[in-house]
Structure formats: structure tokens, C-alpha cells
Structure 1
Amino acid sequence: MASRCRRKQRWSPQPLTPLMEGPDFGMEDHEGNKKESSWEIIREWFRLQRSVSDTSFSSSMSLYGPAKRQDLRLLLGVLGCPLAPIPISNKPSFRLHIKDIPIETSTAYYIIQQYLAATGCSKQQSCAKNMYTSGMIKLIRCETEISTGKTVRTMGSRSGENGCFVLWQMSPGMWSLELAVGGNKVVAGSDGKIVWRHTPWLGTHAAKGPQRPLRRIIQGLDPKSTAGLFAKAQCLGEKRIGDDDCFVLKVAADRAAVIERNEGPAEVIRHVLYGYFSQKSGLLIYMEDSHLTRVHSPENDTVYWETTIGSSIGDYRDVDGVLIAHQGRTVATVFRFGETSMEHSRTRMEEIWSIHDVVFNVPGLSIDSFIPPADILPTAQTTVSP
């Protein structure tokens, strides 16, 4: 497996959050050292979008090849392997003492109990020790809207790239993901303490802050992990999603955890996750997280980046007595704006995914399958909080 490989690549710590994962557009010096941070690279991507919008049609067509490659890297950076905002408790308590707790928390508790019952997890005498999942995805390219205060320009196409992924998981908190789209491959994993990612353009790096679960796992693949994530949620009320009336549950990263994820000029302001549970079926049918970061530039300008990722989840099928979501669609929006400027940029991208195979309790899968790459293991143990 890819997580066993001992790569000899240069490592530098970078967070694994959607906004902090910047694609590298080949901006390296002759010695192979990156000249710019991931945030500067993302800013360069938006500058390129503005320059393309100002060129003639013939000139912009000459940039189609590089722009296509850059769009795909941004897609993989945002949608490839984002993490949830908070850790999952290793031993979540699903027994609640009603006394002295807010009604929003007790209501959320009962909604999660209904969710566990609806998925069949309440009937399971023993939890699955591990899980294998494979599936197909289609990433639909970016559409960017640029506003200068007086005019709004939209550019980009809705062409897509097909790909596939393989996901291994072992409780608690160990997982390994390999995702390949359009000739690019993203590999990520966690041994329960260190979360890491490898891309051809950024190399291998570890996530900062508390160890958090892969978002792809909690969006219908592992009901127990989803329930553990929302174990301390608050119920905000009701909302209609499509034809379903849903209860809305909210979890958010606390201030201390958010501060741990800060890096250089980038300051994480908030990261919130909302789960929409159908009142009719009890199942999770929609999930949305919002992530806001403030970046201070060398010119003393302040720029805000807000990433919103919303996923429709459906096609639940029985796998060994547990209902697993087999299909979904994710829409991500990256919104860039300043404190005083009238200019802003909004980039939209999509992912359509389907699950082809799910297997529980794979023989021979052990904790050795989730060992991080050797080049980050010694350093990451001292720089990344468990």
C-alpha cells in the first residue's frame, strides 16, 4: 500500500484544510525548493484567472493547457481529501444524563440515536474492525466569478475529469486514501495520531492541529464515525432539503483547536459542520461545512478566504446489516474578499461520487498498513498534536 512507502521527499508542515491546501503551479527554484508558500500559490492562481479574463479569446485559448492543469490541482486540493472540523472521540458516549444539559444538546442526542437505529448500527452486537471501500468520482472544473465592484465576469468551463479512489479504514481513527484523477494522484492517511497527505506538486506534509477524520468517511460511509462526530452537537431546528424535512445538527471547532491550525500569515477564524438528518428516514442526507481564514499579506492588506463544501448523500444500501450511502454530489465554493475592497472572487467546483464496493473486516489488514511515510514520521511526532 502507498502508506507503507518510504519516500525520500522534502517535507514541510502544512495544514490539510481546504483553504490551506494550495496547488503548486511549478513555482520552484533550480534547487527544487519551493519559493512560495501554499497561500501565495493560491493567490497566484486567482491572479492568473484575472489575467485570462482580460485577454482576447485567442490569447486565452493558448493558456488552456496550463489553466486546465492548474484547475485540476485546485479541485484536488479542495475536494480530494478535506478533513472534518473536530476530532472523533475514541470512545464516544451514547448515554445521556438529561439533568443540567441544554435542550439543544439533548435533542441532538436523540436525533443521533434515531440515526444509529436507521442505519442498523444499533442492532450490531460488535463493531466492524476495519473497512475497505472503492468508488468512482468525477471532478467538474472551476467556474470563477470575478467582481470589480462595477462589473462581474464569469469564466471557465464545466468540463470534467473522471477518476477513482480506494479507501481503507481501521478503528479508531486510522485510514488510508488513494485518489487518482486526470493523471494526478493524491495519497493521504492517518495512523490515529498523525494525518498526512502527498501530492506530486506539494510533496508529503502533515496536518497541523488536532487529529481530525477524513470528511469522505463521515459522509455516509461509516455511520458510527458520523455519530461519534455529532455526539456533542447542537440541534439548530428544522430545514427542508429537497423533498425531506430535516433536523439540523451543528458541530464547530473550539477556539483553541482553531488556533493550533494557524500558520504564518494565515489565521483560521472558524470551521463549522452542519448535518441534515431526514425526519422521515432518520438518515443523513446532506452535510455542509464552512471554513473561514484571514490572511495578512506583506503589503498589509487583509484578505478573507471562505470555503463552503456541501454534499448531498443518498442511495443507501444494506451492507452486512448496515446502511451505507453509495452515491452523492458535492459542491464547493471558494470565496475571496477583502476588508475594504469592492473586488471579490468566487470559484465553484463539483464532485460526483459513487461507491462500487464495501467490505468489512478485511483479513490481514493491520495497523502496519497505516504507518506514515518515513520522511515525516520523526518530525511530525514533535510538531503535530495527537
Structure 2
Amino acid sequence: MDRYSARLDVVSYAVLLLRGWQEVSMAKYILQQYIAASGGERALNAINSMYAMGKVRMMASEFPKGNGGGKRVKKCGGAVETGGFVLWQKKPDLWCLELMVSGCKISAGSDGKMAWRQTPWHQSHASRGLPRPLRRSLQGLDPRCAANLFANSVCLGEKTINREDCFVLRLDAEAATLRARSSSGVQIIRHSLWGYFSQRMGLLVQLEDSHLLRIKSAQENVYWETTMESLMEDYRPIDGVNIAHTGRTTVSAFQLGEASESHTRTRMEETWTVEEVDFNIRGLSKDCFLPPADLKLAGQRP
């Protein structure tokens, strides 16, 4: 009986290894098709920098569970806020984004060593851990960046997204990465990414990521679960590279505290349109991606 059980354990382990190998191999094949559909290795490798400009429309709302869970309270009077963005990017890991919405300017960037962000209501702040790709670039603007991001992903199967049959790739952040991005007061428990690649076109049609954070305090631990879903559409070739020119992003943040009255759900919707894209910008040097002066002088690092 013991030998039989041991044999079953070995067979089960072998089946799991084979299944995992198949999931990884399938993911790599899907990414190869994605690179080909985006323009091919030669076209993508020829890009060393890019510029993009577009328009955005945003609306935020809040659903307070402590008030019955069904009453909808809209921030900013439910008004739609409009604005625009400009993105500059250069290999490797250099990017700068400026977003102007209703007179408020939000900036973010990476100098290759650290990523930072700056808002009117918050001082310049450096993100912990290694610089990560800008989400705006992953929304159909930078196919090479998206392919590199999912290089170690697995294929979970198929799903229909926006009437497109898609392959589903999933990537989970490693424990060491989560620890590097956490601090004494904020712990990142989980960070998962899903990419939905059209079986018909080979292109990325939806990107989803989910964060679970724990904010520690003397009073209680508060958990935040944030989910972002970006749908990309209207792919057009620019110098042989397929770029998504329109899209919609939905952000949902759910706060969980020890007291049920503190539970809230916040939702933000954004639609965006890309108006200009250009590659291999002349004169774009590393000096264009320096962090803000106050952050640099303060010597802040992740």
C-alpha cells in the first residue's frame, strides 16, 4: 500500500509538472503571435523611443456600504472631468507622463533607477522597489513592453472579451518583489496581472491587474483591494507597429476595515483617445527623465 501510494504521488507530481510546462509553453506561443500581430520583431526592435499624446475623460463615484450599500454618491457632483496626457518614453526603463485634468496636473516618471509621481495634493514621492512599466504604455501603446511583462506568465484558458475569443495569460508577482515594494506601514499581499489576447487578431484587447494591500495602524488593519480593467480598441498601424487608439479603463477600490461601517467601494471610469504617436524622437536624452528637484535634493529612494 505504501509503495502504491508513493507511486501515485510520483505520477501526480509528473502530471502537475507536465500541466505547468504546457501552460508556460502555450503562453510563450501566444506572446510570439502577439509580437507578430503587433508588427514583428524587426519593427519593434527598431524603436528606441516614443511620444504619444491624447485626451481623457474621467468620472469617479463612491458606494458607501455602511449606508445600505445601494445608495450611490458621486464625487465632483457626478461631473465628467476632461483633459489630456503626454507621454515620453526611451529605452531602457525611461518614461515620463504628464496628465492634465480640469486644471490639475499629475506627473509621473522613471529615470531607470526609481519611479516617482507628483500631484497637486501630495509631495513628490518615489515608489518602492524597482521601476515598473507605466500602465499607459501597456494599454496598447508599447507592444514590446507588454510582451516583456508577460514573459513569465502562464496560459489559463480562454474567455470572451468584448465579443472577441481570447487566450488568458496570468502573471503573479513573486514574494521577493512584494516585499521590496512593501514598507513598515503598508504590506502588498498580492499583485496579479491578466492579459486577454484575441485569438482572431493576436492583439492584446484587455489588461487587468489586482492589488491587495494591508495598511497597518495602532487602531486597526485596513485592507484595500484595487482592481483595474483596461479595454483596448481601434488598433492602427504607425510605422508598421499596431497601436491602440481608443480604450476604457475602470478602477474599483474596495476598503475593508474591522468595522463594517468603514467599508467603502470607490469606482473611477476613464475613456481615452490617442491623437498622436511618433517613434525614435531625436534629441530625447536622459536629462528629459530626471525626477523633480525636491525629490532629487531630498535624496529619496525606494
TM superposition score normalised by structure 2: 0.88
Aligned-residue RMSD, C-alpha:
2.0
Deviation at 1:296, TM superposition (A): 2.4
| Cα distance in structure 2, aligned partners of 1:278 and 1:340 | 43
Equivalent pair of 2:63/2:69 in contact (CA under 8 Å): no
Partner of 1:244: 164
Which residue among 325, 349, 352 is the counterpart of 2:244? Answer: 325
Partner of 2:273: 354
| Cα distance in structure 2, aligned partners of 1:124 and 1:213 | 20
Residues 166-185 of structure 1: matches in 2 within 5 Å?
Answer: 166-185=86-105
Deviation at 1:265, TM superposition (A): 2.4
Partner of 2:64: 146
Equivalent pair of 1:189/1:197 in contact (CA under 8 Å): yes
| Cα distance in structure 2, aligned partners of 1:125 and 1:216 | 18
Deviation at 1:151, TM superposition (A): 5.7
Moved over 4 A (4+): 378-381
User: What percentage of residue pairs aligned between the two structures are identical?
Assistant: 47
Equivalent pair of 1:121/1:224 in contact (CA under 8 Å): no
Which residue among 255, 261, 271 is the counterpart of 2:181? Answer: 261
Query: What secondary structure sits across from 1:112 in the alignment?
Result: helix
Deviation at 1:242, TM superposition (A): 2.0
Which residue among 19, 34, 45 is the counterpart of 1:115? Answer: 34
| Cα distance in structure 1, aligned partners of 2:168 and 2:258 | 31
Equivalent pair of 1:134/1:358 in contact (CA under 8 Å): yes
Query: What secondary structure sits across from 2:294 in the alignment?
Result: coil
Deviation at 1:125, TM superposition (A): 7.8
Task: Determine whether 1:210 maps to 2:154.
Answer: no
Equivalent pair of 1:121/1:223 in contact (CA under 8 Å): no
Structure 1 residue identity aligned to 2:40: C
| Cα distance in structure 2, aligned partners of 1:176 and 1:151 | 39
Greater shift, 144-153 or 157-166, is seen at 144-153
| Cα distance in structure 2, aligned partners of 1:127 and 1:257 | 30
Query: What secondary structure sits across from 2:178 in the alignment?
Result: helix
Deviation at 1:340, TM superposition (A): 6.5
| Cα distance in structure 2, aligned partners of 1:119 and 1:126 | 12
Equivalent pair of 1:245/1:280 in contact (CA under 8 Å): yes
Structure 2 residue identity aligned to 1:349: M
Query: What secondary structure sits across from 1:368 in the alignment?
Result: helix
Query: What secondary structure sits across from 1:114 in the alignment?
Result: helix
Which residue among 272, 275, 280 is the counterpart of 2:200? Answer: 280
| Cα distance in structure 2, aligned partners of 1:125 and 1:284 | 15
| Cα distance in structure 1, aligned partners of 2:86 and 2:131 | 21
| Cα distance in structure 2, aligned partners of 1:125 and 1:184 | 34
Deviation at 1:146, TM superposition (A): 1.5
Which residue among 243, 257, 265 is the counterpart of 1:338? Answer: 257
Q: Write 1 or 2 for the structure with the bigger share of strand.
A: 2
- 1:343 and 1:196, CA in 2 relative to 1: closer, same or farther beyond 3 A? closer
| Cα distance in structure 2, aligned partners of 1:126 and 1:249 | 23
**Equivalenced residues, count:** 283
| Cα distance in structure 2, aligned partners of 1:150 and 1:317 | 46
Partner of 1:103: 22
